[in-house]
Structure 1
Amino acid sequence: MRVEFYVLPTTQTADRLNAACRLAHKAWHAGFTTFIRCADTKQQAQLDEMLWTFRRPSFIPHALYSDHCHAPVILAIDERPQHTPCVLINLHPKISSHLDCFNRVIEIVNQDPEQLNISRHNFVNYRKQGYKPARVEL
């Protein structure tokens, strides 16, 4: 499994969500099922709204896990994907306990001090689990 930390130059939370939309759009166009793991239901609702209007006139077909767990792009929190393998875009502060379901994991990092600490901790934990996380500058 590939683990990548996509690093943004800004501190804005909205930039992390925009990056998640861009990456989901790219993965969907490449034919990959994409699982976006949100931090909470508030972030899930924000991302749901953004995916409807992210790229005009194109539409990113997505659904909340509770509504349709087999959509091309799925918004979840801690659920286990029904379709595997797939791409995980992790916006949750913790590493997923379902890593066996994914062939690629993307963590989106911004320059907010709290987010940087969370990301550093996750980077170390991926290494402890035997993965070799890579850093990608956006």
Structure 2
Amino acid sequence: MTKIDFYILQPGGRGNRYTLAARLAEKAWSAGHRVLIATESEEDLRHMDRLLWVHRDQSFIPHGILGKADPSLNPVLLAGANDAGEEHDVLINLCLATPEYFSRFERMVECVDQEKQPLEASRERYRFYRECGYPLNIHQIT
């Protein structure tokens, strides 16, 4: 069963859910995991792509866009909400809804900031996962 972790940026915390996703993608990749970052829109996908290039001055997160990049060379892939390719290790969800394919992943990460609409959507997703019996963890990030 998919393990689900909610990482919640507290009010006044540094960054937003996108910068949090970049930090968590780097951490998962550094630990040897493959990561798929699911985005809500093409604009969000492009934003995450740019962010992963400049995330930290002294690091590089090898990444690409699903369907355009060679998965064997890119352990971090960006995708829209409807396609996960062959990925199944770590899913970082930046979508307002739960991606249909989430349950095939070993672990799913929900990045939550204090922006009103995404915050409300994350609460709905939390209730859905809890009602379905998924193991949930909450991490408060300052």
- Deviation by residue 1:18-37 (Cα, 9 ceiling, x = unmatched): 10000000000000000000
CA contact (8 A) 1:21 1:54 kept: yes
Normalising by structure 2, we get a TM-score of 0.88
Structure 2 gap segments, 5+ residues each: none
Q: Does 1:92 align with 2:95?
A: yes
Match of 2:66 in 1: 65
Is 2:99 the partner of 1:80? no
Distance 1:52 1:74 in 2: 13
**Could you tell me whether the CA contact under 8 Å between 1:11 and 1:110 is conserved in 2?**
no
Equivalent pairs, count: 136
Match of 2:28 in 1: 27
Structure 1 residue 11: deviation in Å? 7.6
Offset at residue 6 of structure 1 (A): 0.5
Decide whether aligned partners of structure 1 residues 69 and 123 sit closer, same or farther in structure 2, where only a CA change above 3 A counts: farther
Check whether the contact 2:91–2:109 (CA below 8 A) recurs between aligned residues: yes
Q: Which TM-score applies when normalising by structure 1?
A: 0.91
Q: Tell me the equivalent position of 1:47.
A: 48
Higher mean C-alpha displacement, 92-101 vs 46-55: 92-101
Match of 2:127 in 1: 124
Pair 1:45–1:10, CA change in 2 (3 A): farther
